[in-house]
Structure 1
Amino acid sequence: MQGLYTVLLLVVSNVFMTLAWYGHLKLSQTELAKDWPLLAIILISWCVAFFEYIFLIPANRLGIIDNGGPFNIIQLRVIQEVVSLIVFSLIVTFLFKTATFQWNHIAAFICLVAAVYFVFMK
């Protein structure tokens, strides 16, 4: 169960991360935030990123072998990257609607699945 909780916490963390890192780009397309100064955007992004860490830190602590979790640190990092790219792709495709999936994106995801396979291989 710790592995599942770890991945779920990473998913939530990555939603906040994607919004903190890239949400301001979508926000700047609106009339509301079009002319905001960079410092304001940075501060808002930091506020959103705070919630990323509220979920990321417990995910890593729960998932690591040293605390009774099922993953070593390399496995945790690879899981984090895969979750990050999946969440990012879903948000920009369905929420921001600024990207469309193409064959090379699918090929890249297949490579990611292969990376996960190799990192978990004994």
Structure 2
Amino acid sequence: MSTILDTKKLLTGFPHIDKVYTYQIPDSAVKTTDKTIALLREVQVQTDEEGNNRFNAINTQLQLQIFLKKDIDFDTEQFQIDLFRLFENNQYECYTFGGFVSDPDTGQLFNSIYVEKLKYTD
């Protein structure tokens, strides 16, 4: 399975994330403010672990944008810690994490996290 679909599966059912989308949020969900929505997109896919003129792994970098529901009823710091642990425990590397900022259109807090996953091909 592709890394982005593996990651979607990993995040599905994660506490406080109600829905996970890949590549884009459908028009019907764009203005949803009563649910926490995650959006996954590929940032870069590179070959890695070269040897004998052959690559032996694919390194996929993903952007995860999280749009928190407007009526937040959970500790956002603990949410971030638990999310980092989820990635760490599943061999992802979190390499960029911005703070939560307000979406000017919906007023929701959102955040962008960048992670990468190395998958061996053979």
- Name the TM-score, length of structure 2 as normaliser: 0.30
Point out the structure with the larger strand share: 2
Point out the structure with the larger helix share: 1
Structure scoring higher RCO (CA < 8 A, sep ≥ 6) equals 1
- Name the TM-score, length of structure 1 as normaliser: 0.30
Query: Which has the greater radius of gyration?
Result: 1
